[in-house]
Each structure stands twice: as C-alpha cells, then as structure tokens.
Amino acid sequence: MLEMTYSQAINAALREEMRRDGTVYILGEDVGVFGGCFGVTVGLIDEFGAQRVMDTPISETAIMGSAVGAAAAGLRPVPEIMFVDFMAVCLDEFFNQAAKMRYMFGGKARVPVTLRTVCGAGVGAAAQHSQSLEAWFTHMPGVKVVMPSTPADAKGLLAASIRDDNPVIFIEHKVLYGLSGPVPEGEYTIPLGKADIKRPGGDVTVVATSMMLHKALAAAQTLAGEGIEAEVIDPRTLSPLDKDTILESVAKTGRLVVVHEAVKTGGFGGEIAAIVAEEGFDYLDAPIKRVGAPFTPVPFSPPLEAAYIPDENKIIAAVKELL
Amino acid sequence: MALTKEEMMEMYQRMLLIREFEDSVANVFSQGQIPGFVHLYVGEEAVAVGVCSNLSDQDYIASTHRGHGHGIARGASVDKMMAEIFGKIDGYCKGKGGSMHIADVELGFLGANGIVGAGLPLAAGAAFANKYLNNNGVAVCFFGDAASNRATFHEALNLSSIWKLPVVFVCENNMYGISMSQERHQNITDVADRATAYGIPGLTVDGNDLMAVYEASSEAVKRARAGEGPTLIECKTYRHRGHFEGDACVYRSEDELNQWKKKCPIKRFAARLLEMGLAGQDELDKINEQVKEQIKSALEFARQSPLPDITELTKDVYCD
Ligand SMILES: Cc1ncc(C[n+]2csc(CCOP(=O)(O)OP(=O)(O)O)c2C)c(N)n1
C-alpha cells in the first residue's frame, strides 16, 4: 500500500490510463500548464504533451460537445468541467447527446467519455461553486454516475470509468482533495456498480456518499461508544446502483439512514429510500430517515455554510430516532 | 461634453477607492480573515470608472467574478461591500453571496457573477426591460477576453443586435483567462473584431487610459439611448494580481507584470490632472488620504457587523 491524497490518486489514475491507452486524452480549462484549478492534473502535460493534455478556451459547450464527438469517433476523452455547477452551461451536450447516442443509434455507437468534475460545499465558495448535483445525472439513462469518497476508491473507480465504453460523470469533492489514505500499488480497477461496506455493524444501516461517508464514519465511531453498531455503506457509484448490498444490509439491521450533502428535496437519498421501501419493506423495523442539506442554495457566510452542510450530529440524531 | 474639474476629480477618487479597497482585501485575505475565493481588480480601474461615469440612476450594469471595481464605480457603498466579503449580516447580500456575488439591484447592479459569461444575456435582458418600459435606461455588461469564447457572448450580441437593445458590451481584455493567455485562447488580437459578425460597432481602446474609456463608452451609451442599438467596446488592460488571491502566476513573467505596472491607469491619470493644471500634488495626496480613511472605516464597519443568524439559512429562497 502507498499513502496518497485523493488528488494524487486521481492524478495517478489519469497518468496510468494515458500510458496504457494512446486514445485517452484530457481537455479542459487550465488543465495543462496550470495543472488544474485544484492541482489534480499537475505534471501530466510534461509527460504527455499539449496534444493529449489540452488547455481549452472557456467554452464548456465545445469542451463537452467535442468530447462526445471524439468519443463516438474512437477516442477516450477525459474532459474536466472545473466545478459541477458549470455543467449547467453544457447540459445539452451531456444529456441529449452523450446520454442518448447509443440508444438512439440502435446500439451502434460507443461514447466512452469520462467527465471529471467537482462538487461540494465547505470552502466558502458560495451558491454557484458549491452544489451537489448528482441527482440530476442519475435521472438520465445512458450515463453512469460515480462519486468516490477515498483515495483508493478514486483511483480504481477512475481507471474503471475511463475503460468503460459509456459516458461516465466522475464527481470529486473539493474538500476531499487533501485527504490521505492507503492506495494499492500498481494498476487496478474497481467495478462500477459495486458498493463498499466501509464499516460493518448490525444495528442500523447508514448509506453515505462522497464527503458524507467520512461524517457517517465519525458518527458511527461515536455511536459505537454508546453501544450502537452502524453499518456504513458507500455506494461509490449511484448509477448503476448496487442495491443488493444495501438491501442485504437492511435485512440484517432493519434500519436505514441515507446521508448526502445535496439538498434533501429531490436528492438521490429519495431513490435509495424508495428502493428499500419497495423491495425491502418487510426488513424494516422503523421508518427510513434521510439526512441532507436544507432546501436552500449554499450560503457564503461561514456559520451559515456550516449549518447548511449535514454534520455528524445530524447523522447521530437520525440514527437515534430509529432506535 | 467637456468634463468639469469636479467630475474628473471624482473619477480619480473612484479609481483610488477601488485600488485601496482591493489592496485591503488582498491584505485581510492573506491573513485568513475572509473565506472563499477573491479575484481582484487592481490595474483595471480605468475601465469600470470610465464606463460607469456615463451612467445614471435608471441604468444597469452586470459584472463578473472580478466585480469589486464595477460595484464601486457604480457607486456602491464600500462599507456594505466589505461587510459582504466578510460574510456579515450588513453586507449587500446579508453575507449570503460573498465577494463573487455582490449585488444591489436597486443600485442598478445586477451582480458580480460566479459563472463566466453569464452577465451578457442578463444585460441584454435589462436593456430590453428599459426599452420596454421606455425609461431611456441602458445596460452595460463587463466581461473578460476569455468570456468572449462562451456561447452566451455570441448569442447575447446577436440578440441585442437584431432587437436594437440599449446595451453596451465592455470587454476587459486583461490578456488572460486564469492561466490562458489571449493568444492561446483565441486566434484574433482584437475581441472587438467579433462585432462585425453581429452587425454592430466594435472598437478597441486603451483600457488604462481613463479618458479613452470614458469617451468611447460615452458614445456607445449615447447610441444606445438614441435607439441605435448595442456597441462592443474592448478595453486593453492588465490585472496586476493573480487570477485569484493565492495564484502563483506560473503562466506569466515578472517582467511582463512590471511593464504593465508602469502603465498604471491611476498614476497616468494623476499625471494628466497635474499636467492640465486641474489639481496640484497636494490635492491629489489629500484625496489619497481620504480614500485610505474611507477604506479603513469600511474594514471597521465590516468587522463590527455581526455574522448572520442561523435562521437566515433558509430565508430569501422565495419571495414572501
Ligand atoms: C462557465 C464558467 N466556466 C469556468 C469558470 C471558471 N473561471 C472563473 S474566472 C475564469 C477566467 C475568466 O477569464 P476572463 O473572462 O478573461 O476574465 P478575467 O478573469 O481575466 O477578468 C474561469 C475559467 C466559471 N466561473 N464559469
């Protein structure tokens, strides 16, 4: 095992995939000379040159659209959209083109685009640079949605995403970039659509994504001190979703809390809750609880932003309401 | 259209006020006193002041992520702006927006903006509203050279052209979009050339020459008010600071920066005032001191203002 940050792990996956496959290339704003707005692509232009690590103008429509066209024509583009919020300016290219092409063309196209982008609050970036919009993308058949929470997952899932023949949106969290953790040596992939039990437990199932996984683990630690064992599951990919791992866990614990940083209303937690209500109703000993952000844009001021982001205490409170 | 001495002195004061505001924000940011990202306007003061000096109450401006200068040039209170940057309740947006979203619709300030290029169609819309309401108002949109590569630029210019909207598009060409120099992000030297494609006038001016900016925008505003439609003005200028505070600026040379610092728009205008005999050095020094005091008290105001109460979190999502 190596010790690496989340950011370094993503950089390593990009480097290895580019070495392995000459059709993989990166494009985006400031990804080359500057090394990426969050430093994730640093050094790649030195190894692969400006032909494969392309600094683009501020033209998200062209970044996304050209990546989709190039993918259909045989390349494996890895475009970066600096913040997931900016996806709003190139949604047609993603939703109506990338997501639909294979189906509309009668199964005769491949669109292996891996769109890397960044979500999340916590750095005072305010309402247009802090959103968690994954639910938008999970509502779109034809697209895979990946949200890694640890360096090891980030590396393996990104390699798998780049090798996947479908459009994938790979959503990183800006607060996680500096997080260090063990990463296996050498190349490896983690299959898309496979959840991971980050902490086993028998009393309650907590499903948590991205940054919230870490809050859920901290909450589980505190709860363990009080004799409550939470099983913490990171779905890792939201689409396709590994519902079996979640249902098996709920069958064991009888209780479910779903946690995400996105606004609770219309959030992906509703989907997980609905699946368990439909397919695992008999396992449940208590109602399902969702923990998410309030129905409001992300505020700038530090105390408001802190109140916005779901924290450990809210997770603990939700668990306790079920017991 | 000769400007009076008072008007010229006020323009000088505004530019200094922006410079002092930005220098103070850089300072408190480096001390970790304010959260988030800040993008400073140092070096580009002549653009905001030159353009906004032509505006009146019913007019609107739309701004960028680098919006402090535009706000001050439009007449915003430096107290409330500073409080907003500190995330305090007395800020323009109750601390909910921060540096990148300072706005005051009552003042005709449609906001700084976190989305590059978002202001262009917004300004077209404000211009349309003014035309519709027949109030003789115009709208101005500030945006960067790099923003002119976004679809919104092209769509907004075209729409404004066919609808003959009273709008002025002001490109602040500071030669970079984050790390991308203009020659790397577009194959033209003058963004103003793009006006041709939309059948509107386009002109390039020295953005560090306050009078050149003032005169060009004065013409454009007149055209707009007369119902003759939009104008694209490109102001060639330079940002002295990095793209954001904390930017190591690996993409540009120290030498280039120093060359531009010599072309500082404020020093240049001061020299002109002295040369024209409109002011003595002592007068300019006095303005400088007053401005420093004003910003000191803005910082004080911002520090004294309370943080918003948690109950603010879910307020203002909808109209009551
Ligand atoms: C749609 C969108 N894409 C990218 C960004 C990230 N970004 C913020 S400022 C900036 C550069 C803007 O350059 P320019 O328009 O020339 O203005 P300047 O910063 O030079 O004033 C970029 C890429 C953004 N905020 N919005």
For residue A240, whether the previous peptide bond is cis, meaning omega lies within 30 degrees of 0, is yes
The reply to whether residue A129 touches residue B100, judged by beta carbons under 8 angstroms, is yes
E-state strands within A200-272: 204-208, 230-234, 237-239, 256-263
Q: Which two tokens stand for residue B234?
A: 């490109």
Rounded distance between C-alpha atoms, residue A146 and residue A234, angstroms: 11
Q: Are residues A22 and A117 in the same domain?
A: yes
**Is residue A190 in some structural domain?**
no
Which residues of chain B does A30 touch, with a Cβ-Cβ cutoff of 8 Å? 178-180
Query: Following DSSP, what letter does each residue of A102-157 receive, concatenated?
Result: HHHTTT------EEEEEE--SSS--TTS----HHHHHTSTT-EEE---SHHHHHHH
- Choose the mutation target among B86, B115, B148, B317 for the interface with A, i.e. most A CBs under 10 Å: B115
Strand A237-239 with A144-146, pairing: antiparallel
Rounded distance between C-alpha atoms, residue B180 and residue A56, angstroms: 8
Q: What is the pLDDT of residues B123-179, one digit of tens each?
A: 999 999 999 999 999 999 999 999 999 999 999 999 999 999 999 999 999 999 999
- Find out whether A82 and A28 touch, Cβ atoms under 8 Å: yes
Task: Report the percentage of chain A scoring pLDDT > 70.
Answer: 100
Confidence of residue B228 (pLDDT cuts 50, 70, 90): very high
Q: Are residues A19 and A164 in the same domain?
A: yes
Q: List CB contacts of B2: < 8 A, sequence separation 6 or more.
A: none
Sign of CA dihedral A275, A100, A84, A162: positive
Which residues of chain A does B194 touch, with a Cβ-Cβ cutoff of 8 Å? none
pLDDT exceeds 70 at position A15: yes
Closest-CA residue of B relative to A82 is: B115
* B299 closest CA partner among B92, B81, B112, B100: B81
Which residues of chain B does A302 touch, with a Cβ-Cβ cutoff of 8 Å? 35, 87, 307
**pLDDT of amino acid B260:** 98
pLDDT exceeds 70 at position B298: yes
- Find out whether B150 and B117 touch, Cβ atoms under 8 Å: yes
Q: What is the pLDDT of residues A89-107, one digit of tens each?
A: 999 999 999 999 999 999 9
Q: Of all protein residues, whose CA lies closest to atom 15 belonging to ligand 1? A: B144
Nearest to B97 among A37, A59, A126 (CB): A126
Q: How far is A253 from chain B (nearest CA, A)?
A: 34
How many whole angstroms from A311 Cα to the centroid of ligand 1?
Answer: 32
**Is residue A215 in some structural domain?**
yes
Residues with CB under 6 A from ligand 1: A 29, 58, 60, 82, 86, 89; B 64-66, 114-116, 143-147, 172, 174, 176-178, 243
Longest dimension (CA), chain B: 56
CA angle A317, A318, A323 (to 5 degrees): 95
Rounded distance between C-alpha atoms, residue B103 and residue A254, angstroms: 50
How many whole angstroms from A320 Cα to the centroid of ligand 1?
Answer: 45
Q: State the DSSP code for A312.
A: H
Other C-beta atoms closer than 10 Å to the C-beta of B107 total 17
B317 touches A at CB < 8 Å: yes
The reply to whether residue B179 touches residue A30, judged by beta carbons under 8 angstroms, is yes
- Find out whether B97 and A127 touch, Cβ atoms under 8 Å: yes
**Is residue A236 in some structural domain?**
yes
* B225 closest CA partner among B137, B126, B139, B162: B137
Which residues of chain A does B250 touch, with a Cβ-Cβ cutoff of 8 Å? 33-34
Q: Record the pTM.
A: 0.96
Q: Are residues A133 and A221 in the same domain?
A: no
Confidence of residue B1 (pLDDT cuts 50, 70, 90): low
The residue segments making up the domain with residue A224 are: 196-321
Which residues of chain B does A300 touch, with a Cβ-Cβ cutoff of 8 Å? 35-36, 87, 93, 95-98, 101
The reply to whether residue B179 touches residue A85, judged by beta carbons under 8 angstroms, is no
Q: List CB contacts of B226: < 8 A, sequence separation 6 or more.
A: none
B35 touches A at CB < 8 Å: yes
**Is residue A43 in some structural domain?**
yes
Q: Are residues A153 and A208 in the same domain?
A: no
Rounded distance between C-alpha atoms, residue B25 and residue B19, angstroms: 10
Report the DSSP beta bridge partners of residue B58: none
**Is residue A290 in some structural domain?**
yes
Q: Are residues A179 and A221 in the same domain?
A: no
The reply to whether residue B178 touches residue A128, judged by beta carbons under 8 angstroms, is no
pLDDT exceeds 70 at position A189: yes
A-B C-beta contacts closer than 8 Å: 123
- Residue A96 sits in a domain whose CATH number is 3.40.50.970
Rounded distance between C-alpha atoms, residue A1 and residue B57, angstroms: 65
Average pLDDT estimate for A17-37: 97
How many whole angstroms from A223 Cα to the centroid of ligand 1?
Answer: 45
Q: Are residues A179 and A39 in the same domain?
A: yes
Report the DSSP beta bridge partners of residue A259: A208, A291
State yes or no: is A129 an active-site residue: yes
Contact residues of A toward B, CB < 8 A: 29-30, 33-34, 37, 55, 57-61, 85-86, 88-89, 123-129, 294-297, 299-304, 307-308
Instruction: Tell which CATH classification among 1.10.3720.10, 3.40.50.970, 3.40.50.720, 3.50.50.60 matches the domain B5-305.
Output: 3.40.50.970
Confidence of residue B2 (pLDDT cuts 50, 70, 90): confident
Q: Where are the domains of chain B?
A: 5-305
Rounded distance between C-alpha atoms, residue A144 and residue A322, angstroms: 32
- Boundary residue ending a domain (A162, A183, A204): A183
pLDDT exceeds 60 at position B192: yes
Q: Are residues A101 and A163 in the same domain?
A: yes
Give me the amino acid identity at A61: T
Q: Are residues A94 and A148 in the same domain?
A: yes
Which strand (E) or helix (H) includes residue A79?
A: strand A76-81
